[in-house]
Amino acid sequence: MLLTEFNTTDVRPLLTACLAVPRWVDAVLAGRPYADVEALKAAADLPLSSDEIRQAMAAHPRIGEKPAEGWARSEQSGVDNPDAFAAANAEYEAKFGHVYLVCASGRSGEELLEILRERLANDPATELAVAGRELLKIAELRLAKAVTA
């Protein structure tokens, strides 16, 4: 979609697919019209509350469990060891109570698994903040794929 179309049409479903946080969607919509894609990406870089992070994580599949369709399928294309991820995901979820969330695009399965293992050393509050930053990275990548100058 062209930026001009993004600025003038109903893009709430697109934004919700990028990041399922109503306040974020509303804020990005309220900033229209955007002069360029960089301004759009800058506006999308909003801090998320703990509740918003948890809400958005609920819309994401586990790393290593490839979804049938959508952005997450291509974003996780480097994941090649589902058995290793199943065990690591179980350990992560037991510790933190939510799915492991990382911006997977362009990373190998080995790298993603290494990041997961490193993040197991985080305390729950730190890990939730890290997951929130990763959510924003994912949203920015999705916006960049969806909206062009």
Structural domain includes residue 106: yes
CATH code, domain with 11: 1.10.3330.10
Structural domain includes residue 6: yes
DSSP state of 63: T
- For residue 19, give both structure tokens: 């990041």
Structural domain includes residue 87: yes
For residue 125, the enclosing domain spans: 1-144
Cα separations (Å) of 36 from 5, 24, 45? 12, 19, 15
Structural domain includes residue 56: yes
Number of independent structural domains in the chain: 1
Structural domain includes residue 114: yes
Structural domain includes residue 149: no
pLDDT of residue 69: 54
pLDDT of residue 75: 52
pLDDT of residue 68: 46
List residues bridging with 148 in a β-sheet. Answer: 2
pLDDT of residue 72: 52
Q: Which residue numbers in the chain have pLDDT < 70?
A: 66-79
